[in-house]
Amino acid sequence: MPLRISKLTMSGFRGATAPTTIEFDTTKPVVLIFGENGTGKSTIADAFDFICNRSFGSLENYSLGEPAKKHVASLGRSSADVSVTLESGAQKWTARMGKDGPTVNPLAGQPDVRILRRRTILSLIETQPRQRFEALKTFIVVPNIEKCEAALRDAVNATNTSVNDLVRATVQATDELMKLWKAEGAPGASALAWATAEANKDLSQLWANLTLIGSLLQNYQDVETTLTALDLALAEQHTALQALEATQARQQKVEALAVQQTARLLSLLRDAEAYIAARNTLTKCPVCEQDVDARALARRLGERIGEMRDLATMAAATEAAQRQMDSKQIVADKIRREFCQKAGLLAASLKVCLLPEIAALKLDWLRFPALLDPAQPAHVSEQQARAFWAAISRSHQTLEERRIADQKSVHQHNAIAGQIGTLREKQGLAVAQQKLLADLKAALDIVMQQRKDYIEEILTSISTEVQALYSRLHPDERIGRVKFFLKPNAIGSLEFDAQFQDVIRLPPQAYYSESHLDTLGICVFLALTKYFKTDNTVVVLDDVLTSVDGPHLDRFMALLHDQAKQFGQVIVTTHYRPWRDRYRWAKGSVASTQVIELGPWSLESGLQTGEFLTAVDELKMALTTSRFDRQVTASKAGIVLESLLDFITLKYRCAIPRNARNEYTLGDLVGGIDAKLGKELRCRKPTIAGGSKTDVLLKPVFDAATESQWIRNSVGCHFNTVDSEVCDSEVKDFGRAVINLSAHLICDSCKTLPTRRPAGLFWQCKCGQLEVYPLVYPGADLHTVDDEDF
Amino acid sequence: MSTPDEVVAERIIEKLREAGIISETGIKKLYPNLVAGKLKAEDWKFIFETCRADAEDGHASQD
């Protein structure tokens, strides 16, 4: 048995200001909840949404200016008071208001409730293609696949860019090689062949020469540098010598002027002065031991030293000049040795060097024997080093030119090898990336195609199903042929067209009536829900039908009952009384439909649910109640009799006196069943459940009910004295006769009148247990047969 | 019942397999991430590079 909801309990939720429990008959696949406007139908639908879809239901369709969750609680109640409980057999779920929305315990397993509201129909049918897509996208989008497809497209684009970059790099490397090749005069068969050969050349000798030349040039540099330093040192030494000689000459002149005032004397006098200064009590000369006046002696020493100051100055100058001379000598000697050493190193290198630039010098090594012999005196070595340098210094430039040329060759080789390497590397990478790109493109084509195919399949399937459903509701009306499709090259835009009269591919919104659009929206919803249904799918239609005529309502009810087989349960709310009355007057099967009536809502009491009774059930109750009400019984019996006579006279197109208002009295209807029809009229049904069918002539049953029909007017409708003369038993008999008639015309099993004619020979109830004969008025053309209900 | 993402993912995998551009190892990596919408551009590239490398290694070892 499919999953069916058995109980819904609401407390503090929307219109349920008082705890409300609705029990569902799980033996019946369809539930009709009837209530006039403002009785709480949407509260019930919202409660299903709240607990099964964690949604705020119809509140989410409105612009409230603040979050919908603020209005979930009943007026005067808080979010903490909100409670919705759903039961299905032994399973039970409870939903409460959480911080972020409804929280349901237990988390999983609730029925898969799909709810259609009138506003949703507008979204499905009447809005723009983009809004329609939004309304349907939960059915037709594959969001995760689309994310991956977008990532795959990025991968294709990135790889394509990578391939282009690599191709560009190979072209650039080829161009560079072409330039190098042409610069070399385009030797060989091709640039690539030439470059490959060049890149493969052995550069070891070139590198060795470059290293040697580099070393030699460094030696040249060293010799030149030390020679420059030596020349400078010698010049400075010469200058110092000249200064010494000049100082000595001046000193000799001063000494000649004061032969006695030698430098030694000056020194002796200074010593004596210092000696006396250190001994203030001196009275005798330390040399001759004669008495002396120390003060007078000191004064005299001072006078003599002053006289010898020029001589002292000259002596100091000579000493300084000598020290300078000695210093310059030392420096010059050191640099000389260094120069000779560097020159010796260079000579040793050149002597064994095989470079043509050196050989061209044709050096006579016999001229420089001391250069290669460290034991030779410095001045000899210096002379030969200077001669050697004079012989080779011009070759420095030649070697430098050779080095530049060799370096150019190396650079050329490196450039060629680099370009060849780049070319090969990029070509290899480009091939790999091109293969990857081909795979990615193929994958993208597959992903896109499968996604589109899937959506097209759904839309085609839905279109087909919508057409099937719609044609049942509107047969022979030349409307329908609805086709949904995604607009090419438009994202998120769902189009649809339909037929009107003989013209196809028209926008139905432009041609269909409002009720036709309503039923189209319902068919779209049912088709979608059917396509995506699960084993637990329950359909809720929340007041989706506004006003339709009788035949369309009958077909819609039949369609719902038929579609209910596809789902666990179909729960319908409606304010449309003719729908509810179909069940009241046995035009709809209460055997397969549970009808729940909602009474007036009030803030204190909240939703009011009442027991639904058919008109016959109400009559039976009136007859069996302990406090018998004769007026009510007579009235109800009369109205049931009227409905049964209306049914029969319509079915057989009986002759009834016409009137301007097209309204018929009970007496008119009674007269409609004439003797000719009464002779043929019979029902056929099992006397016990599952037993064989037997015929019952209906004329006596009709007569029993209609012969007392005056009681309806006398007791049930009007004030008159006759009423007082009718006893209760007569009223009860009238009521029982009407119930007996209803028992012959309304099936015990499906509780419906015989409104179908599947065999074309008789009328039959919805379940087929009850048959009523004949099909048409005796002798009438079969083409005059009344329409059958669905 | 499979979700729409699962249905399309299965079809995609089947077509990729038919096209011979993905190995069974690649499919094992691809399917769950495809259903979950977790594949990035780098993931796609890695999967196909790996599959191709595996295929070329296989050919090389056969040679």
A126 Cβ neighbours under 8 A, 6+ residues apart: A509, A517
Using the structure block, give the residue that is written with the tokens 């419906």: A752
Tokens of A592: 């397969």
- Eight-class DSSP state of A712: I
CA distance A209 to A229: 30
Tell me the residue length of chain B. Answer: 63
The more confidently predicted of residues A156 and A457 is A156
CB contact under 8 A, B37 and A451: no
Of B12, B34, B49, the CB nearest to A436: B49
pLDDT at residue number A545 = 85
Residues of A in contact with B12 (CB under 8 A): 145, 446-447, 450
Residue of A nearest to B35 (CA): A144
Q: Which of A86-95, A336-345, A501-510, A744-753 has the lowest mean pLDDT?
A: A501-510
Query: Is A37 touching B (CB cutoff 8 A)?
Result: no
Of A147, A154, A439, the CB nearest to B21: A439
Residues of A in contact with B15 (CB under 8 A): 446, 449-450
pLDDT averaged over every residue in chain A: 89
pLDDT band (50, 70, 90) for residue A746 = very high
Q: Which of A94-108, A295-309, A345-359, A678-692 has the lowest mean pLDDT?
A: A295-309
Query: Which residues sit opposite A34 in a β-bridge?
Result: A574, A597
Q: Which of A255-259, A607-611, A763-767 has the lowest mean pLDDT?
A: A255-259
The more confidently predicted of residues A141 and A638 is A638
Residues of A in contact with B56 (CB under 8 A): none
pLDDT band (50, 70, 90) for residue A254 = confident
Q: Rounded to the nearest 5°, which phi and psi values hold at A35? A: -165, 145
Q: Which of A254-258, A353-357, A527-531 has the lowest mean pLDDT?
A: A254-258
> How far is the alpha carbon of A109 from chain B, nearest alpha carbon, in Å?
14
Measuring CA to CA, how many Å separate A142 from each of A115, A149, A397, A718, B42?
21, 10, 79, 68, 21
CB contacts < 8 Å between A and B, how many? 83
A659 Cβ neighbours under 8 A, 6+ residues apart: none
- Residues A364 and A238 sit within 8 Å (Cβ to Cβ): no
pLDDT at residue number B60 = 59
pLDDT at residue number A243 = 95
Residue of A nearest to B14 (CA): A446
CA distance A237 to A243: 10
Chain A interface, best mutation among B44, B49, B52, by max A CB count within 10 A: B44
Tokens of A177: 């090689």
pLDDT at residue number A683 = 96
For the segment B12-30, the average pLDDT, to the nearest whole number, is 91
For the segment A666-676, the average pLDDT, to the nearest whole number, is 91
Q: Kindly report, residue by residue over A506-558, the tens digit of the pLDDT.
A: 988 889 888 888 888 899 889 988 888 888 999 999 999 877 888 889 899 98
Of B37, B44, B49, the CB nearest to A143: B37
pLDDT band (50, 70, 90) for residue A344 = very high
User: Does residue B2 surpass a pLDDT of 80?
Assistant: no
CA distance A198 to A418: 11
pLDDT at residue number A95 = 97
User: Does residue A611 surpass a pLDDT of 90?
Assistant: no
User: Does residue B62 surpass a pLDDT of 60?
Assistant: no
pLDDT band (50, 70, 90) for residue A41 = very high
Closest CA to A654 of A670, A630, A638: A670
> How far is the alpha carbon of B58 from chain A, nearest alpha carbon, in Å?
17
Closest CA to A423 of A235, A203, A619, A181: A181
Closest CA to A198 of A56, A411, A471: A411
β-pairing verdict for A91-97 and A102-105: antiparallel
Closest CA to A434 of A174, A154, A166: A166
CB contact under 8 A, A440 and B9: no
CB contact under 8 A, B45 and A534: no
Residue of B nearest to A156 (CA): B41
Max Cα-Cα span within chain A: 201
- Eight-class DSSP state of A62: S
β-pairing verdict for A30-35 and A569-574: parallel
- Residues A728 and A710 sit within 8 Å (Cβ to Cβ): no
Tokens of A547: 């006003």
Query: Is B11 touching A (CB cutoff 8 A)?
Result: yes
Given CA atoms A653, A656, A657, A658 in this order, what sign does their dihedral have? Answer: negative
pLDDT at residue number A651 = 92
Considering chain A, what percentage of its residues have pLDDT values greater than 90?
58
**Cα dihedral A224→A226→A227→A229 (10° resolution):** 120
Closest CA to A789 of A585, A490, A483: A585
What stretch of H or E contains A35? strand A30-35
Q: Which of A190-199, A292-301, A615-624, A628-637 has the lowest mean pLDDT?
A: A292-301
pLDDT at residue number A310 = 75
Considering chain A, what percentage of its residues have pLDDT values greater than 70?
97
pLDDT band (50, 70, 90) for residue A329 = very high
**ipTM higher than 0.90?**
yes
CB contact under 8 A, A141 and B44: no
CB contact under 8 A, B15 and A440: no
CA distance A111 to A94: 13
DSSP string, A168-234: HHHHHHHHHHHHHHHHTT--SS-HHHHHHHHHT---HHHHHHHHHHHHHHHHHHHHHHHHHHHHHHH
Alpha helix (H) residue ranges in A652-712: 666-672, 675-680, 699-706, 710-711
Residues of A in contact with B9 (CB under 8 A): 144-145
Query: Is B22 touching A (CB cutoff 8 A)?
Result: yes
Given CA atoms A231, A236, A237, A239 in this order, what sign does their dihedral have? Answer: positive
CB contact under 8 A, B8 and A450: yes
Tell me the residue length of chain A. Answer: 790
Given CA atoms A42, A47, A48, A54 in this order, what sign does their dihedral have? Answer: positive
pLDDT at residue number A220 = 95
> What global pTM score does this model have?
0.64
pLDDT at residue number A226 = 95
Chain A interface, best mutation among B45, B46, B49, B59, by max A CB count within 10 A: B45
pLDDT at residue number A311 = 75
Angle at A578 between CA A576 and CA A583, to 5 degrees: 115
CB contact under 8 A, B37 and A439: no
User: Does residue A439 surpass a pLDDT of 90?
Assistant: yes
> How far is the alpha carbon of A117 from chain B, nearest alpha carbon, in Å?
24
> How far is the alpha carbon of B60 from chain A, nearest alpha carbon, in Å?
16
Name residues 406-465 of chain A within 8 A of B (Cβ): 435-436, 439-440, 442-443, 446-447, 449-451, 453-454
- Residues A450 and A142 sit within 8 Å (Cβ to Cβ): no
pLDDT at residue number B59 = 63
Query: Is B6 touching A (CB cutoff 8 A)?
Result: no
* Rg from Cα positions in chain B: 13
Q: Helix or strand or coil: residue A89?
A: coil
CB contact under 8 A, A151 and B43: yes
Q: Kindly report, residue by residue over B38-54, the tens digit of the pLDDT.
A: 999 999 999 999 888 87
For the segment A109-116, the average pLDDT, to the nearest whole number, is 92
Residue of A nearest to B30 (CA): A148
Q: Helix or strand or coil: residue A53?
A: coil
What does the buried/exposed string (b/e) look like for A443-478 if buried means 16 or more CB atoms within 10 Å of the residue's CB?
A: bbebbeebbeebbeebbeebbebbbebbbbbbeeee
What does the buried/exposed string (b/e) look like for B11-42 if buried means 16 or more CB atoms within 10 Å of the residue's CB?
A: bbbebbeeeebbbeebbebbeebbbebebbbe
For the segment A277-291, the average pLDDT, to the nearest whole number, is 84
pLDDT band (50, 70, 90) for residue A493 = confident
Using the structure block, give the residue that is written with the tokens 């059915």: A139
A1-111+536-612 fold: Rossmann fold (3.40.50)
CA distance A496 to A521: 12
Residue of A nearest to B20 (CA): A439
For the segment A49-61, the average pLDDT, to the nearest whole number, is 88
- Residues A308 and A269 sit within 8 Å (Cβ to Cβ): yes
Tokens of A672: 């409609």
Residues of A in contact with B1 (CB under 8 A): 534-535
CA distance A542 to A488: 34
CB contact under 8 A, B5 and A442: no
Please report, for chain A, the start and end positions of each structural domain, with discontinuous segments joined by +: 1-111+536-612, 147-198+406-451, 204-261+308-393, 621-784
pLDDT band (50, 70, 90) for residue A495 = confident
Q: Mean pLDDT: which of A257-266, A771-780, B21-30 is highest? A: A771-780
